[in-house]
Copies of this chain bind each other. A is one copy, B any other.
Amino acid sequence: MSETRAAMASKILNGIEKYEPQVKAFTSYDPVRIRQDADMASPGPLLGMSVGVKDIIDTVHYPTSHGSPIYAGYHAPSDAACVTQLKTAGAVCVGKTVTTEFAFFSPGPTVNPYDVARTPGGSSSGSAAAVAVGMVDIGLASQTAASLTRPASYCGIVGFKPSYGRYAAAGIKSLAPSFDTLGTMTRDVATAALADGVLKGPTAVPSTFKPQRPSTIGICRTPHWDAAEEATQKAIEKAGVLFSEEVQVTYIDLEDFAEAADLHITIMSYEAAQALGWEYADRRPLLSSQIVGLLEAGKQIDYATYRAALARAEELRCLMADIFANYDVLVAPAAPGEAPLAESGTGSPLFSRLWTLLRLPTVTLPGLTSSSGLPVGVQLLSAYGTDEDLLNWAGWAETILPPRPFPSMCI
C-alpha cells in the first residue's frame, strides 16, 4: 500500500473511531472495506480523499435505506453515477450517511457537532456532520427544498448546490424531479471545485479553481427577511460590510419573487406524490406523518394547477436571469438562524425554496456565528450555468469571511 493510501485509511478510521459514537453521522460503514478500498484506490485527481454518501444514493457495497424502515437493509444492484465517478477519480467511499426519511423532514439520529442538543439540519444531516468533524473530505448531499444549504449553514461547512442538472442523478432516489439536485459538502471551496471537475461529466477533469473577486454583489435579503432571526440578520449585515470593503455592494429584496415559496411547495408536493406513490399505496403504515401529509397534499393538486406552477416558475427563472445582468453574485440568508434544538425538527427551508425553484447554483459559506457562537452560514448565488465562476467568486468570499469555527467536540 502506498503512503498516500495507507495514510488515507488510517485518517478515515481514526476519525470514525473518535467522532462517530457521538455524532452518529453514518448509517453504515465497514473498516475492512475502507482499508481495502483505500489500498485499491484509483490514481485519479481525488486520490487521498474520502467521501460520505447520503443514504438516498445507491451503493453496491453498503445498504441504501433512504432513511426509511421500508428500505432497511436494501442493497442496490449498482452504484449511483456520482459514486462511480468519485471512486474512479480515486476517492474512497467511507460509508452511507444519515438522511431524513426520503430526504424530507423526519429526522435521523445525527447530532450537530457544535451542540449535540441541536439539529445538524436536514435532509443531508449525516454528510454535513461528518464533514464538519473531518470524518470525510467530501459529503455527497442533495437538495429538493433546502436539504443541502441548511445543514451546511448549521454545521459550519461549505455547501455547493450546482445548477440544476449539472451532476447526474442516476441512482438517486427521487423526491421531486423538477428540483432534486445532487451537490457536495466540504470544508473549503477548493475541495468543492475539485469534486466539481469529477462530478460534472463522465470523465474527470482537473479543477480550474482560482479564487476571484466578483465585480458586483447584491445583498439579497429576500422577500422573507422578516422571518430571519437576529443571528441571520446580523450575519447578512456583517457579510455586506466585509464584502463592501472590496466590491460594490447593493441591497435588494426581490419582492416580486414572494410567490416562489408557494410555487415550490405546489410542484414539490405534486411530484413527490408520484415519486413515492408505491410507498404510499403499499407501505403507508411505515411512513411518517410528515411524508404522508406531503403526499396527501400532492394528491389534492390538479394537473392544471401543477402545470401553471411550472410555467410561472419558468417565468421567474427568466426574470432572475435579467437581474443577473446587474450582479455577478447575490448573497442571501442560508437559514432563518442558528441550528434549532433537535426536538423542534430540522429547521425551516424557507430561505432556500426560492433558489431551488430558480435552479440556480449556490455556495453556502461558513465563518459567521450567532451570539452563542454557533455557525450561521450565508449563501452566494449566481446565474444559472455559471457554476465555475461562482466557485471562483466563493473562493474569494471565503477569504473575506472569518475562518469557520471548529466544532466544540473537535477542540
Contacts and interface: CB of A to CB of B under 8 A. Distances in A.
A277 B81 contact: yes
A74 B281 CA distance: 22
A302 interface: yes
A205 B305 CA distance: 14
Given A277-B81, A278-B83, A205 B168 contact: no
B201 A85 contact: no
A1 B276 CA distance: 30
A111 interface: no
Nearest to A385: B307
B84 A278 contact: yes
Give this chain's copy count: 2
Given A177-B168, A281-B88, A302-B201, A274 B81 contact: yes
Contacts of A87: 281
A84 to B, nearest CB: 4
A153 B81 CA distance: 33
B84 A299 contact: no
A274 B77 contact: no
Contacts of A298: 202
Interface string A59-91: 010000000001100100111110111011000
A270 B201 CA distance: 7
Contact of A169 (B74, B177, B201): B177
A295 B205 CA distance: 17
Contact of A279 (B78, B200, B282): B78
A299 B202 contact: yes
Given A78-B278, A202-B277, A202-B295, 12 more contacts: A60-B278, A80-B278, A87-B281, A165-B177, A165-B178, A168-B274, A170-B177, A170-B277, A171-B278, A201-B302, A201-B306, A202-B299
14 contacts: A60-B282, A70-B77, A74-B77, A79-B282, A84-B277, A88-B281, A168-B177, A168-B271, A168-B274, A170-B174, A170-B276, A201-B273, A201-B302, A205-B303
